[in-house]
A and B are shown apart, each in its own frame.
Chain A
Amino acid sequence: MRERLGYYPGCSAEGTSKDFDASLREVLFRMGVSLQEIPDWNCCGASPGHVLREELGAALSYLNLLKANRAALGEVLVACPSCYSNLLKARHLCMEDPEIALRWSELYGAMEGDPPVVRHLLEYLVEQMGEKGIKAPLRRPLEGLKVVPYYGCLNRLPYVEMDDKENPVFMDQVLSWLGAEVIDWSYKNNCCGAGLSVPRSEVTRELAARLLQAARDHGAEVISVVCPLCQFNLDSQQGYAGTDIPVLYLPQLIGVAFSLREDDLCLSMPLVEPTSLFRAKGLL
């Protein structure tokens, strides 16, 4: 029997990070998990949801938890770190703050029982799948592929309590199970500039360039990420940084190691093209 798991894709999954969403669905399917999207999910509020009005992002996220709850989804998987933090915040307030919980249940409807458990992809891969689950569908280990894991601010975001805040290792762990040569570097969670890429692109450019040049100096052939903003900022600033390193979502790398079709993993979507590297390494 396939395991049924709730899933919150987040808005960028319908635009700039379609490849994150598509590859994640593919690889989890191979690992025996059926994802069920929260019916009629809405935006989590992202950063603007708390920047201008603290309650807005949390309330929008409560709506998503409520929709999951009504669809009898006890557990919800999230890929985007910002969505993850917002959903965790809504869950926390709804469990720990009776005043807000009451207000929300009157305004939007009451939760039946506890709100769904919210899990991030990385946590799910390491703690639920584990080495056995990830190695079972492995067809083509990423031997000889030098990868730097880049976590961004994921582990430090509000209400996130997984892995280590200063030196996270979950992605390192998954990559090493895939057979990749994981490069340790001290830039794992330096900020990429996040949402400043549109309103203050010159700031993102400087921050991304510093990360990209450090990745290059450490001999990285691929940068592995689990966040749509990290991917976009690092992928789009390589001209300025003078680098040429594919920035891939972790599920895309898992998919390559599972020998899935390159179209299913959307390997044509990153701006810095990764397929020639994979072919040269005999991985495609």
Chain B
Amino acid sequence: MLRIAEGTRVRDLSEELKELTGEDVSKCIQCGKCSAGCALSPFMDLLPHQVMKLVQLGHQQRLFTSSTPWLCVSCEACTSRCPESIDIAKVMDSLRKLCLEKGYPPKEKDLYAFNTTFLDSVRKHGRVYELGFTMQFNLATGKALRHLGETLSLALSLWRRGRIGLVPHEVYDKGTVQKAFETAERFVK
């Protein structure tokens, strides 16, 4: 609990997360099971149990400049094994959203761009247009240019096997899809 003056309490990050998502990170006992079972942990700059600790301590700067929440793919290994039944994957999800809300630039720019171009495609067509959105992502990030040979050779192999849908499939009722985009809340408890 952070205190700035007698009788005045700053709402800490654990409490903020609990209010927004219903997940209580203060229950974490630092057993490390989440980090031990996380497939992505070798690529993260903070291990999942370290993230939990930093949430408890309220180290916002360190958390919102970390790659970890962005790298989490929600495979749920941590969530299904947590002895305190904390939905750790949901906490990671929520930290990404809080990072954006508090105005921190996403540490993993490409992952942020991937998510937004994906959703742009859904908003536009009603379904994901795989070819369109991966091309848009590659153009926006320059990712394909950095790995040009590899990208082209994979695209060619997929093309030869008929695994690239050339045209987008448009949903007839786009109005309701767009309404979902306009009204959906960032957090659900």
Interface residue? B102 (CB, 8 A): no
Residues of B within 8 A of A165 (CB): 80
Instruction: Determine which of A14, A93, A193 lies in contact with B127 in the assembled complex, contact meaning CB atoms within 8 Å.
Output: A14
CB distance from A271 to the nearest CB of B (A): 6
Contact A15 B187 (CB under 8 A): no
Residues of A within 8 A of B93 (CB): 50-51, 54
Interface residue? B147 (CB, 8 A): yes
Interface residue? A42 (CB, 8 A): yes
Q: Which of B74, B147, B165, B187 has the most CB of A within 10 A?
A: B74
Interface residue? A107 (CB, 8 A): yes
Residues of A within 8 A of B161 (CB): 268-271
Residues of A within 8 A of B12 (CB): none
Instruction: Determine which of A41, A53, A107 lies in contact with B97 in the assembled complex, contact meaning CB atoms within 8 Å.
Output: A53
Known A-B contacts A11-B128, A56-B184, A156-B80; the reply to A63 vs B177 at CB < 8 A is yes
Interface residue? A173 (CB, 8 A): no
Contact A198 B154 (CB under 8 A): no
> How far apart sit A107 and B177, CA to CA, in the bound complex (Å)?
11
Interface residue? B131 (CB, 8 A): yes
> How far apart sit A12 and B134, CA to CA, in the bound complex (Å)?
13
Contact A199 B177 (CB under 8 A): no
What residue of chain B has the Cβ atom nearest to residue A89's Cβ? B188
CB distance from B11 to the nearest CB of A (A): 20
Instruction: Determine which of B79, B97, B127 lies in contact with A54 in the assembled complex, contact meaning CB atoms within 8 Å.
Output: B97
Contact B185 A53 (CB under 8 A): yes
Interface residue? A275 (CB, 8 A): no
Interface residue? A2 (CB, 8 A): no
Instruction: Determine which of A48, A93, A108 lies in contact with B188 in the assembled complex, contact meaning CB atoms within 8 Å.
Output: A93
> How far apart sit A100 and B185, CA to CA, in the bound complex (Å)?
11
CB distance from B38 to the nearest CB of A (A): 8
Contact B127 A48 (CB under 8 A): no
What residue of chain A has the Cβ atom nearest to residue B151's Cβ? A201
Contact B73 A47 (CB under 8 A): yes
Interface residue? A280 (CB, 8 A): no
Interface residue? A279 (CB, 8 A): no
Contact B118 A46 (CB under 8 A): yes
Interface residue? B100 (CB, 8 A): yes
Instruction: Determine which of B76, B119, B179, B188 lies in contact with A55 in the assembled complex, contact meaning CB atoms within 8 Å.
Output: B188
Known A-B contacts A11-B127, A14-B127, A153-B75; the reply to A59 vs B40 at CB < 8 A is no
Contact A52 B116 (CB under 8 A): yes
Instruction: Determine which of B77, B111, B128, B186 lies in contact with A46 in the assembled complex, contact meaning CB atoms within 8 Å.
Output: B128
Instruction: Determine which of A18, A49, A203 lies in contact with B71 in the assembled complex, contact meaning CB atoms within 8 Å.
Output: A203
Residues of B within 8 A of A60 (CB): 122, 177, 180
> How far apart sit A79 and B140, CA to CA, in the bound complex (Å)?
31
Known A-B contacts A11-B128, A63-B180, A107-B183; the reply to A191 vs B39 at CB < 8 A is yes
Residues of B within 8 A of A157 (CB): 74, 76
Interface residue? A213 (CB, 8 A): no
What residue of chain A has the Cβ atom nearest to residue B144's Cβ? A198
> How far apart sit A209 and B109, CA to CA, in the bound complex (Å)?
25
In the complex, which residues 1-57 of chain A have their Cβ closer than 8 Å to any Cβ of chain B?
11-12, 14-19, 40-43, 45-56
> How far apart sit A156 and B3, CA to CA, in the bound complex (Å)?
39
> How far apart sit A166 and B130, CA to CA, in the bound complex (Å)?
32
Q: Which of B89, B108, B157, B163 has the most CB of A within 10 A?
A: B163
What residue of chain B has the Cβ atom nearest to residue A108's Cβ? B176
Instruction: Determine which of B77, B108, B180 lies in contact with A56 in the assembled complex, contact meaning CB atoms within 8 Å.
Output: B180
Residues of A within 8 A of B104 (CB): none
What residue of chain B has the Cβ atom nearest to residue A165's Cβ? B80
Extra contacts, 15 of them, besides A15-B164, A60-B180 (Cβ < 8 A), are A18-B162, A18-B165, A19-B163, A42-B122, A43-B128, A43-B177, A47-B73, A54-B185, A56-B184, A108-B176, A156-B77, A193-B40, A198-B137, A199-B113, A207-B39
11 pairs from A and B in contact (CB 8 Å cutoff): A11-B169, A14-B169, A47-B115, A49-B122, A51-B115, A54-B93, A55-B187, A56-B119, A191-B40, A236-B154, A269-B162
Residues of B within 8 A of A (CB): 21, 39-40, 42-43, 71, 73-77, 79-80, 89-90, 93-94, 96-97, 100, 108, 110-111, 113-116, 118-119, 122, 126-128, 130-131, 134, 137, 141, 143, 147, 150, 154, 157-158, 161-165, 169, 171-173, 176-177, 179-181, 183-188
The 7 closest A-B pairs by CB, nearest first: A191-B39, A15-B165, A56-B184, A153-B75, A199-B114, A156-B76, A48-B115
